[in-house]
């Protein structure tokens, strides 16, 4: 028989791992609500052009990492599609398509879900990965930039990940960046013989991408290359200074890096990445984002500013595990319903169903096995209480065994749900609380 495995570059999130993700997703949802972001869902695949135009044709994402989807055979199904490699382009497409520019601005949106890139598999980089994303579309001011950065840092703190800092830069706009790009092109042209083949090709199409190169041979050249800081126009420089002032008021001290350009073409002005202190590097970013003031227009809308970030939940979970702060723990069912009669699965199922209807998480042991084996199984999976259906059922009672306290008592069936809630509350808060 063949042995099937998850596709290379993907992995199964087993119950313990999924529990970690659910906790992170819960923190993300809670923060998004607190900061006034509304949830949105976009399709897992879009027309390829949404990403080719939005992300940029001369990027790793489009050149090497885009998962293209083969459409059906019908004439109406010949559009070119691709799985979403990042959320911003799809969210902006939805903003334009559904006329969200008529809503009060900025429109604040959040999405948490899987993304897909045909990337080289390695630690923290998967071909299917999860991101927590926020976007604020319709506000050009520096204050929203600072708020978005602070939101990202707060997510890491509430997740329990210490030592995360933000690296910040401005990459200018359409008014000042072209002159810098030409300066950069000329500088690298003088050193073309030292460029790897891929970077030599990019030099003719998008020199800015060379600063985002993952090739270790480029590190020395990148460090010596001209920086955008010396080429910002007055408007971009003023905006960048205002972002830093707002961050200072929020208690955030960014580390400035004039060579941070991010890997997508739609960024303008503010760009940032989140790292754990001492873990900088091309593969170590926990998330990042920036301003994209030209993307809405590029995808068919009116000129509209925007800013957002994407935080990689896979990398956060990996960092938490490495720091010993989030070891995967399988979720536990606090109540198991067992029975003295191995054959009487009907009664066990009926009582478990009754408890669930009362809002209690419970599992009925439906295996035909002796009571001792049922109790052993409940203990192994970490249950707090076992409801035992025995001869007392004739008098409308059951036995409730407290596995943690090592006690057992009779409880009226009519009072069972209330008594279980009270006992579980004591387990959570201490014997002195009801």
Q: For strands 287-291 and 306-312, give the pairing.
A: antiparallel
Peptide bond into 106 cis (omega under 30): yes
Residue 293 and residue 255 in one domain: yes
340 in a domain, yes or no? yes
Average pLDDT across the chain, whole number: 88
226 in a domain, yes or no? no
86 in a domain, yes or no? yes
8 in a domain, yes or no? no
Domain stop point among 301, 322, 343 = 322
**Higher-confidence position of 64 and 296:** 296
Tell me how far apart the terminal alpha carbons of the chain are, to the nearest angstrom. Answer: 56
Residue 141 and residue 238 in one domain: yes
Residue 363 domain boundaries: 335-427
pLDDT surpassing 70 at residue 75: no
Return the C-alpha torsion angle 114, 120, 124, 129, nearest 10.
Answer: 0
Residue 347 and residue 292 in one domain: no
Find the CATH number of the domain harbouring 361. Answer: 3.40.50.800
| H or E segment to which residue 416 belongs | helix 416-429
Residue 316 and residue 340 in one domain: no
Find the CATH number of the domain harbouring 120. Answer: 3.30.930.10
pLDDT of residue 45: 93
Residue 374 and residue 264 in one domain: no
pLDDT digits (tens, 9 = 90+) for 125-159: 889 999 999 999 999 999 999 999 999 999 999 99
pLDDT of residue 76: 60
Choice among 39-48, 230-239, 400-409, 422-431 with the minimum mean pLDDT:
422-431
In angstroms, how far is CA 377 from the centroid of its own chain? 35
Residue 327, classified by CB atoms within 10 Å of its CB into exposed (0-12), middle (13-18) or buried (19+), is exposed
Residue 246 and residue 381 in one domain: no
Place of tokens 């979720």: 331
- C-alpha 402/C-alpha 414 separation (Å) is 19
Residue 247 and residue 385 in one domain: no
217 in a domain, yes or no? no
193 in a domain, yes or no? no
2 in a domain, yes or no? no
pLDDT digits (tens, 9 = 90+) for 11-30: 999 988 999 999 999 999 99
Q: For strands 164-170 and 268-276, give the pairing.
A: antiparallel
Residue 285 and residue 137 in one domain: yes
Residue 359 and residue 285 in one domain: no
Domain count, the chain: 2
User: Which residues in 249-305 belong to E strands, given as ranges?
Assistant: 255-256, 268-276, 287-291
pTM metric for this prediction: 0.86
pLDDT of residue 258: 87
Residue 316 and residue 342 in one domain: no
pLDDT surpassing 50 at residue 434: no
pLDDT surpassing 80 at residue 250: yes
Residues 6+ apart with CB under 8 A from 39: 29, 32, 109, 110, 111
Residue 49's φ and ψ, nearest 5 degrees, are -65, -25
pLDDT digits (tens, 9 = 90+) for 76-128: 666 788 999 999 999 999 999 999 999 999 999 999 999 998 877 777 788 99
| Neighbouring C-beta atoms of residue 61, cutoff 10 Å | 22
Residue 125 and residue 252 in one domain: yes
Domain stop point among 322, 348, 366 = 322
């Amino acid at each position: 028989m063949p042995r099937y495995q998850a596709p290379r570059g993907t992995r199964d999130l087993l119950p313990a791992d999924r529990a970690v993700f659910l906790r992170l997703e819960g923190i993300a949802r809670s923060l998004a609500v607190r900061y006034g972001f509304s949830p949105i869902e976009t399709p897992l695949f879009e027309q390829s052009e949404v990403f080719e135009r939005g992300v940029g044709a001369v990027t790793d994402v489009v050149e090497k990492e885009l998962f293209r989807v083969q459409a059906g055979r019908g004439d109406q199904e010949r559009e070119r599609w691709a799985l979403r490699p990042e959320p911003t382009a799809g969210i902006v497409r939805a903003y334009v398509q559904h006329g969200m520019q008529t809503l009060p601005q900025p429109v604040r949106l959040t999405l948490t879900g899987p993304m897909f890139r045909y990337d080289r598999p390695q630690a923290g980089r998967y071909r299917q990965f999860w991101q927590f994303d926020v976007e604020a579309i319709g506000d050009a001011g520096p204050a929203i930039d600072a708020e978005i950065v602070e939101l990202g840092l707060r997510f890491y703190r509430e997740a329990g990940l210490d030592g995360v800092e933000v690296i910040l830069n401005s990459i200018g706009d359409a008014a000042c960046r072209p002159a810098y790009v030409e300066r950069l092109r000329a500088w690298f042209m003088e050193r073309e013989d030292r460029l790897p083949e891929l970077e030599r090709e990019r030099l003719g199409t998008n020199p800015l991408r060379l600063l985002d190169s993952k090739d270790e041979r480029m590190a020395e050249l990148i460090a010596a290359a001209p920086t955008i800081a010396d080429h910002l126009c007055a408007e971009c420089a003023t905006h960048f200074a205002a972002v830093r002032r707002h961050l200072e008021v929020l208690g955030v001290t960014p580390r400035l890096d004039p060579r941070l350009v991010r890997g997508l073409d739609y960024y303008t002005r503010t760009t940032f990445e989140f790292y754990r202190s001492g873990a900088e590097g091309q593969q170590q970013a926990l998330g990042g984002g920036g301003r994209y003031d030209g993307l809405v227009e590029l995808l068919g809308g009116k000129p509209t500013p925007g800013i957002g970030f994407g935080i990689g939940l896979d990398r956060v979970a990996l960092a938490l595990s490495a720091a010993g702060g989030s070891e995967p723990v399988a979720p536990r069912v606090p109540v198991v319903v067992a029975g003295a009669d191995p054959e009487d699965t009907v009664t066990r199922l009926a009582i478990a169903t009754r408890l669930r209807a009362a809002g209690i998480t419970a599992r009925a042991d439906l295996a035909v096995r002796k009571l001792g084996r049922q109790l052993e199984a409940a203990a192994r999976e970490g249950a707090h209480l076992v409801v035992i259906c025995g001869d007392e059922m004739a008098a409308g009672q059951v036995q409730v065994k407290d596995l943690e306290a090592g006690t057992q008592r009779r409880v009226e069936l009519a009072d069972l749900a209330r008594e279980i809630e009270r006992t579980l509350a004591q387990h959570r808060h201490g014997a002195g609380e009801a």
